[in-house]
């Protein structure tokens, strides 16, 4: 069965913002964020990333951003980056221009290959690979910077960090300091304006 026509980036972004607003935007009591900060609003992106349409739109929009970057791999820190990288890999294959996925462990397992980077084939390395780091929600950028540092330590070239949602709380400055371009599919203002 042929695939239906893909939406334009503008259509995909607008629909994704609606899905995030509906499934992933939580307001009310004060919550602690991964950065250690507290907030009275929260983005739980898992329902959006694991929603069939949400995953498809995320994959499309990230592919649109990375197209001019000529990358061979997308991935990031477990757990948030895993469904994102998988969506990009699956949609890229459907579009006929495959981009493979990987993820960075938070810590080395005490068995198996004992690698921080998972998803590479037996003979593959990060050496001289152009890589984009993915993140679901970015506050200060700490999680993505851990992934950037791990990939660089393994010889990969990090071309950019792409987040689904930027909370606009300083991550752009952190990535600039780390020497990596930063892009977001949407910001907290895009969602809170609809919520």
The listed range with the strongest mean pLDDT (3-7, 79-83, 191-195) is: 79-83
Share of the chain above pLDDT 90, in %: 67
Task: Report residue 145 as tokens.
Answer: 């910077």
Domain layout of the chain by residue ranges: 9-192
Cα separation, 139 vs 184, whole angstroms: 12
* Model pTM score: 0.91
- Residue-level pLDDT at 113: 53
Predicted confidence (pLDDT) at residue 110 exceeds the cutoff of 80: no
Which are the contacts of 117, defined by CB distance < 8 A and separation ≥ 6? 75, 102, 103, 104, 105, 126, 150, 151, 154
- Residue-level pLDDT at 181: 97
Three-state SS for 28? Answer: strand
Is CATH 3.40.50.2020 the right assignment for the domain spanning 9-192? yes
């Amino acid at each position: 069965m042929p695939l239906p026509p893909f939406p334009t980036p503008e259509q995909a972004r607008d629909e994704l913002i609606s899905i995030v607003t509906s499934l992933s935007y939580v307001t009310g009591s004060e919550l602690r964020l991964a950065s250690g900060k507290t907030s009275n609003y929260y983005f739980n992106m898992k329902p959006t990333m694991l929603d069939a349409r949400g995953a498809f739109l995320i994959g499309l929009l990230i592919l649109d951003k990375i197209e001019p970057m000529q990358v061979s791999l997308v991935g990031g820190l477990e757990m948030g980056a895993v469904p994102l990288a998988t969506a990009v890999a699956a949609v890229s294959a459907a579009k006929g221009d495959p981009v493979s996925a990987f993820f960075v462990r938070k810590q080395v397992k005490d068995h198996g290959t004992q690698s921080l980077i998972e998803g590479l084939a037996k003979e593959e390395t990060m050496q001289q690979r152009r890589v984009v780091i993915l993140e679901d929600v970015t506050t200060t950028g700490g999680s993505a910077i851990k992934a950037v540092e791990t990939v660089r330590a393994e010889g990969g070239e990090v071309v950019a960090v792409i987040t689904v949602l930027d909370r606009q709380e300083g991550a752009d400055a952190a990535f600039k300091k780390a020497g990596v371009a930063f892009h977001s599919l949407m910001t907290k203002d895009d969602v809170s304006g609809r919520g």
